[in-house]
Amino acid sequence: MDKPPYPQTKVTREQWLAAALDTLIERGVEQVKVLTLAARLKVSRSSFYWYFRSRQDLLDELLEKSRANTASIVRAASVPSQDICAGVLNVFDCWVDLSLFDSRLDFAIREWARRSRSIRRLVDREDAARVDALKGLFLHHGFTELDAFVRARVLYFMQIGYYALDLKESQDERLALVIPYLRAFTGQEPTTDQVAEFARRTRARAQAAG
């Protein structure tokens, strides 16, 4: 554990942020309060102000973390790929790696958006940016403008729906569906090597995560 930079504090800035993130995910934005977090960390609330100007300052940082989900999808869609199946498999990496796309945080922000018009606008912008990045991937591989847009939406909104329904499937069950999913999303047939490489890196990530 990192040592707090100020002798007046017992916890670090990162610990305050982690506590706020966990609280947002578990209990909603209404419970992301200085007193609540201080109780969770077993420290005085005064130490909060060594790191943040206000509760709003903390909330802004949580929103910034949520933008990392969009950045991951944009990067994955931009990775050079030999064909559309390889490109979509790069995007699938986001769905199987919590460090790339934190679905828990994504849905905590969506719940927050139900109570805030400004957060709703932010979520809408992030969704549009994600779909646009996926559309760009399909366009790059020769799909028409309309087809690229629709396939991007199907790919993205299907996965968001998957999270919303909180479907429980094992890693093996999900990997067994990769080929038919790719057919559905792209209309093309992936190679055996492509699917095998995706399964290899998926299992490697799972092992690294413990």
State mean pLDDT over 102-109: 93
CA distance 159 to 154: 8
Nearest to 104 by CA among 154, 134, 66, 78: 66
Domain extents in the chain? 1-52, 65-209
**What is the DSSP track for 88-107?**
HHHHHHHHH-TTT--HHHHH
Neighbour count for residue 161 (Cβ, 10 Å): 10
- Which CATH number describes the domain made up of 1-52? 1.10.10.60
Nearest to 48 by CA among 89, 12, 88: 12
Q: What is the pTM of this model?
A: 0.89
CA distance 154 to 184: 9
Token look-up 């206000």 returns: 54
- Domain pair 1-52 / 65-209, same fold: no
**Contact between 17 and 105 (Cβ < 8 Å):** no
pLDDT digits (tens, 9 = 90+) for 24-83: 999 999 999 999 999 999 998 888 998 999 999 999 999 988 899 999 999 999 999 999
- Which CATH number describes the domain made up of 65-209? 1.10.357
pLDDT category of residue 148 using cuts at 50, 70 and 90:
very high
pLDDT for residue 209 is more than 80: no
pLDDT digits (tens, 9 = 90+) for 162-195: 888 888 888 899 999 999 999 999 999 999 999 9
Neighbour count for residue 210 (Cβ, 10 Å): 4
pLDDT for residue 2 is more than 70: no
Burial of 193 (0-12, 13-18, 19+ CB in 10 A): exposed
As a residue count, the chain comes to: 210
- 50 three-state secondary structure: helix
Per DSSP, 189 falls in state P
